Amino acid sequence: MKKKCPKCGEVKSLTDFYKDKTRKEGRHPQCIDCILSTIDKKGKTEEGFLRIRYNNIIQTYKKRGHQCYFTFEEFWEAFKKHLKKHGMRSAWGPHHLPMTMIYQGRRNGTRGRRKGQTSIKSNMSADRLDSSKPYTIQNLIFIRNDENSRKKDTTYEDCLTQIKLHEERFINMVAI
């Protein structure tokens, strides 16, 4: 069967439309190309970039059987507070490196980055300060992708251990 996209006007196969159980014919009205084009345009704005980051948190966290405890509006307000305090710099110190918001786009209806494309290290990443706790506004931190990769699953207890080792070796000058 074929269907006409109301946005681009092209008649396409049903496989060119996302499945949508809430619709009468079981498919989204717009074709995948038009939907992804809209996402690409919105992703280049500050709000669109943040909305994509928020949706990634929701989807990824839901797959793991967890819940996110804030709305997009609360996420947006938290980012505004971050901007007042740090500007477009990472909350992770001591250097507070500059962050970017460069949307990388999608290709051929696939999710995520294009094949072979690496993430932009300076791009903003919304993460949990303590990865052993859920996504809450209190636990939310805006840092760079490269800092997030380094941090990964470090817990509060891990940080305390690292601080203790650092103090022993470099402040108290105790050898191994």
* Extents of the domains making up the chain: 44-171
Distance CA 88, CA 82 (A): 8
Give the pLDDT score at 173: 81
Give the pLDDT score at 60: 84
Give the pLDDT score at 92: 84
Q: Give me the sign of the Cα torsion angle 92, 104, 46, 73.
A: negative
Distance CA 143, CA 125 (A): 5
Q: Which residues pair with 141 in a beta bridge?
A: 127
pLDDT along the chain (176 residues), means of 10: 92 92 90 84 85 90 85 96 94 86 65 62 89 88 89 79 84 76
Give the pLDDT score at 109: 46
Distance CA 163, CA 57 (A): 29
Measured from the Cβ of residue 29, the count of other Cβ atoms closer than 10 Å reads 16
